Structure 1
Amino acid sequence: MSTSMQTNEDTEQTPEATETALVDVSRLSKLYTGQQEIKALDDVSLKLHAGEFVVIRGASGSGKTTLLLTIGTLLRPDSGTLRIAGKEPYNLSNDDRARFRADKIGFVFQQFHLVPYLSVLENIQAPALTNPHVSKDDAIRLMEQFGLSDRSNHLASQLSSGERQRCALARAMVTNPSLLLADEPTGNLDEVNAEIVMKSLADFAQRGGTVLLVTHDLRNSEFADRTLKMSNGRILMEETGHAESN
């Protein structure tokens, strides 16, 4: 396909041409200082649209986790702007930004971050502390969806790694967020549980949610609409095209 044909096709079919981005990152930079200065983000720009599943790949230290945390409103950039659903969260007060984050964003991490002395159901319900729209029925539905009903009263510390990540994913989805941010969510999982997690994220995107996943695992790109590659705080490459995930 020629370059001109690709441009015409992009104009007609890509969400960038027809929709306002859910997430609009413009020229973000972040510098870590210590024994040596590290430019974790170097003038990064990125748009994410509703229904997109975007994977960012890169080696350790490439800046991908810093970008994820910045988009997640957890790490203030040194310069640049971030807009989510038309708002600039870093212009909000700390309390308002926390409420915005609880309403709009779900997080899934490699280390699960479950509360060990709470049960599976209680962990899934935990976002109700900051989001009044979370109900017990929502938590039970997701617990069933992720095959955890028979473990509902077990403590998080009693679960296998795969069960813990499924519990963490259910917790991230219980608020019905617009955006799911996942940091190496399959890093501690076997192949079967990794596929369950990736298919669940893909299903979330197919229902209209937006997923941004950072990983070093090439296999996770099979589920993505776009894959970006980061190195030294910059996005160097983009691949488009949705692979079959069934």
Structure 2
Amino acid sequence: MSLATYAALPGALSCQAKMLLGTPCHRPRAPLTSQEIAQAVATVEALRFVGLQEHWQRSVCLWHARFGAPLARIELLNSRRGTTSAPTTAPGLKGVEEEESGASDPQHGALADVEAIPAEEPRARRQLAERRPEHHGLESAERHPEHRGLESVERRPEHRGLESAGDVVDEADEAVYSAAKRRFWRDVEAHSEAVGSCMRAIAERTGGDDTSAMVTPLHGKHCLRDASGSQRMWCYRY
């Protein structure tokens, strides 16, 4: 499914904000109000943990810095590799020694400049092409219970204008993402010593290899020894 196809689906926009408000991601509804967007942003601050996918290794290190337990290599592997990729603008493992803390990294140092931090993946900004043929025929959606009501998609306020080309900004999810970035880098700075140590350990143990490019099997088993010191092992399958 193309990005344009996805963005034109009923309820696709503002997915993250809606879930923070307790609404299913793809449930069609009127655009979120400014008050609802503010509530979603406030919820980001109330979450126990916030990580950024485009800074996966640092997010894993932050998790362990906050909640303890040793880092397992499996946490760094890419188990859901896609078929496309985007250029990386953020430093990778080979430059990890320069990233030992948010305060020492000129790119990420000042929290006031958090909006300028580049991401590896595009933000929720959709370039919509001419409406594709696969959108025609929504009138037959009643044959699928989960798609009832799609035939009136053009009448929904949040979908007006999707039929033609244009640059649509997902205002609600942009606000949520900005709040998540602020929260993430603030937490990284608060735990800079532990996060920096973790990132250096990753670089040393992997020899500078990019673990994000490694692919773990979709099925396997991971075991941990009981913390009490007994010989008991706890295993889970994935």
What is the TM-score of this pair, normalised by structure 1? 0.26
Which protein is richer in strand relative to its size? 1
What is the TM-score of this pair, normalised by structure 2? 0.27
Structure exhibiting the larger radius of gyration computed from Cα positions: 2
Which protein is richer in helix relative to its size? 2
